[in-house]
């Protein structure tokens, strides 16, 4: 069984754009703990008020995982008991600590500006000091592989110093992320043969090899894997535990969290992305929204018969699900599947399916792409099968922007619609023309369709399709909406960004109301 060491709250938080509060760290730690992580690294005790608060509060929530404080070995030429970092690690009250030290002779002479011998003392005395306080000690051998390549004997001496001082684990770090799997595997295998202390791996992704390097390290005898959820981390990121865990469990047959917890992997990935306010990578293996998405007609037809034809694992085992994408590459199976989702049965109407396919390809030529716009696709199918009932009839809309001398711009929209025998007029103000238009349309619909308040816009994107036409270019607007339980995308295409936005807004509300009223 492999021991999982999560460093999302420390290493992952070093990614640009991520700024965690103590509350963010606590909620994430709880989620990581319930998933089954063995160790959760929490940051630098005593280095800042946030981490100090986190460790104080984390001690009270009763984690099953071992909480880990992180720091460096003692400073050069002072006693371990006088070093403020080591004292802070002891005072943090965590059952385990992780200290990093230098393994590369380049860092000893140029970064620390000290002697080889003093660096060895810094490592051994720091580990011993922490062990004397009854702490479990993970020693992170920083830049170990670069150190091994430059001066094998000295790199080995550094981890021997940690072992002799009583370290419980020694994690070998590819800190610059530059080693290739075959080279790294050979080094790990040799280190494992020479050491008594269990070995871990801590890989960075600067050469896109962090996951592979972690896997080959396990194959070479490492029994602890360090990494972060979604591969967050400095520069190009750290080893992605989502991929590592899934690969170990499903490909290598090595237990980490077990099948029940593995089914929570996608949820964990998306949860952490939400907490750190990062856009999820839809194309991330196993947990991405597109990890099991099928667009090509031949592929879709095949997976309807046997999903293993184009899926390397069953999506449900990692908590994900397959997605059928409609596009100009689509085949009959796609259209039939999508139509059935909205209550239209086309499996026996080959002529209608062929007609829809041709129209879909024509729409692609105009700039429409339904890859993520399942809401607009549903409306498209309804409109072209005679099953469409418009939500309202538009009389007109008008949008104005007013820029004041104070450089404040105000937007206002007026929407006039008819629903049955009734006419509704509404005014909306917003921080931009699309926001104002959205508010006005909702206000106009609210009396007759109160369920509209359950639908919320969560994302808005604009893409220029034919950039060479400059300001006359056609734009594609993508809107994502949700009713709190389900999310859907809609699309609009036009030379006028407001008209494109209107199209996407209307599709989003119509599709959402259909869902809320029971059509699926």
Per-residue pLDDT, 299? 47
Angle subtended at Cα 205 by Cα 160 and Cα 215, rounded to the nearest 5 degrees: 65
| C-alpha span between 471 and 8 (Å, rounded) | 43
Mean pLDDT score, 419-434 = 91
Write phi, then psi, for 74 (nearest 5 degrees).
Answer: -60, 160
Domain covering 3-275 in this structure, CATH number:
3.20.20.70
CA torsion through residues 213, 218, 220, 223, sign: positive
Could you tell me which of 326, 322, 375, 389 has the C-alpha nearest to residue 353?
A: 326
pLDDT of residue 462: 86
pLDDT tier at 470 (50, 70, 90 boundaries)?
A: low
Whole-number pLDDT of residue 298: 44
> Is the pLDDT at 83 greater than 80, yes or no?
yes
pLDDT in the model for residue 297: 47
Residue ranges of the domains in the chain? 3-275
Q: Is the pLDDT of residue 301 over 70?
A: no
Question: Around 507, how many Cα atoms within 13 Å sit in the side-chain half-sphere?
Answer: 28
| pLDDT band for position 300 (cuts 50, 70, 90) | very low
How many CA atoms, within 13 angstroms, populate the side-chain half-sphere of residue 504?
Answer: 33
Mean pLDDT throughout 512-519?
A: 81
**How many Cα atoms are found within 13 Å in the side-chain-facing hemisphere of 143?**
15
Residue 337, pLDDT > 90, answer no
Confidence (pLDDT) at 244: 98
Average pLDDT over residues 443-455: 92
Query: DSSP letter at 231?
Result: G
Segment 404-409 shows an average pLDDT of 72
Q: Is the pLDDT confidence value at 210 over 60?
A: yes
Q: Percentage of residues in the chain with pLDDT exceeding 70?
A: 91
- pLDDT over 70 at 221, yes or no: yes
pLDDT (0 to 100) of residue 197 = 98
The residue assigned the tokens 């689509």 is 330
Lowest mean pLDDT among 17-31, 421-435, 440-454, 495-509: 17-31
Q: Quick: pLDDT tens for 156-184.
A: 999 999 999 999 999 999 999 999 999 99
pLDDT (tens digit per residue) in 251-264: 999 999 999 999 98
């Amino acid at each position: 069984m492999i021991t999982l060491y999560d460093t999302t709250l420390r290493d992952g938080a070093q990614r640009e754009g991520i700024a965690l509060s103590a509350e963010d760290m606590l909620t994430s730690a709880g989620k990581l703990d319930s998933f089954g992580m063995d160790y959760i690294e929490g940051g630098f005790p005593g280095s800042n008020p946030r981490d100090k608060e986190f460790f104080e509060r984390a001690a009270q929530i009763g984690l099953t995982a071992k909480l880990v404080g992180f720091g460096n070995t003692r400073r050069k030429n002072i006693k371990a008991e006088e070093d403020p970092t080591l004292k802070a690690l002891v005072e943090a009250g965590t059952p385990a600590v992780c200290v990093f030290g230098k393994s590369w002779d380049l860092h000893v002479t140029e970064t620390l500006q000290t002697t080889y011998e003093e660096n060895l003392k810094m490592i051994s005395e720091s580990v011993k000091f922490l062990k004397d306080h009854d702490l479990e000690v993970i020693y992170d051998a920083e830049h170990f592989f670069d150190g091994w390549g430059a001066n094998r004997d000295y790199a080995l001496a550094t981890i021997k110093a940690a072992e002799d001082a009583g370290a419980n684990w020694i994690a070998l770090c590819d800190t610059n992320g530059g080693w290739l799997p075959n080279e790294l595997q050979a080094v790990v295998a040799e280190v494992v043969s020479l050491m008594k202390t269990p070995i871990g791996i801590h890989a960075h992704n600067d050469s896109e090899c962090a996951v592979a390097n972690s896997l080959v390290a396990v194959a070479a005898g490492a029994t602890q894997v360090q990494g972060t959820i979604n591969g967050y981390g400095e520069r190009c990121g750290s080893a992605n535990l989502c991929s590592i865990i899934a690969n170990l469990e499903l490909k290598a047959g090595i237990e980490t969290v077990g099948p029940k917890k593995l089914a929570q992997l996608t949820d964990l990935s998306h949860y952490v992305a939400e907490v750190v306010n990062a856009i999820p990578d839809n194309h991330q293996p196993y947990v991405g929204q597109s990890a099991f998405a099928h667009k090509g007609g031949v592929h879709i037809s095949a997976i309807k018969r046997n999903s293993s034809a184009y899926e390397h694992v069953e999506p449900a085992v990692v908590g994900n699900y397959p997605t059928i994408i409609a596009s100009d590459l689509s085949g009959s199976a796609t259209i039939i599947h999508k139509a059935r989702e909205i209550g239209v049965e086309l499996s026996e109407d080959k002529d209608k399916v062929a007609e829809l396919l041709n129209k879909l390809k024509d729409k692609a030529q105009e700039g429409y792409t339904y890859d993520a716009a399942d809401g607009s696709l549903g409306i498209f199918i309804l409109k072209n099968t005679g099953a469409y009932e418009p939500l309202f009839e538009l009389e007109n809309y008008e949008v104005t922007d007013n820029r004041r001398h104070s450089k404040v711009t105000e937007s206002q929209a007026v929407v006039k619609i008819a629903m049955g025998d009734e006419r509704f007029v509404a005014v909306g103000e917003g921080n931009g023309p699309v926001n104002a238009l959205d508010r006005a349309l909702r206000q106009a619909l609210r009396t007759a369709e109160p369920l509209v308040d359950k639908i919320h816009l969560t994302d808005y994107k604009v893409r220029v399709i034919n950039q060479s036409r400059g300001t006359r270019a056609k734009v594609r607007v993508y809107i994502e909406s949700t009713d709190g339980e389900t999310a859907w995308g809609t699309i609009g295409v036009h030379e006028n960004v407001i008209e494109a936005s209107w199209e996407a807004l209307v599709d989003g509300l119509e599709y959402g109301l259909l869902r809320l009223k029971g059509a699926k």
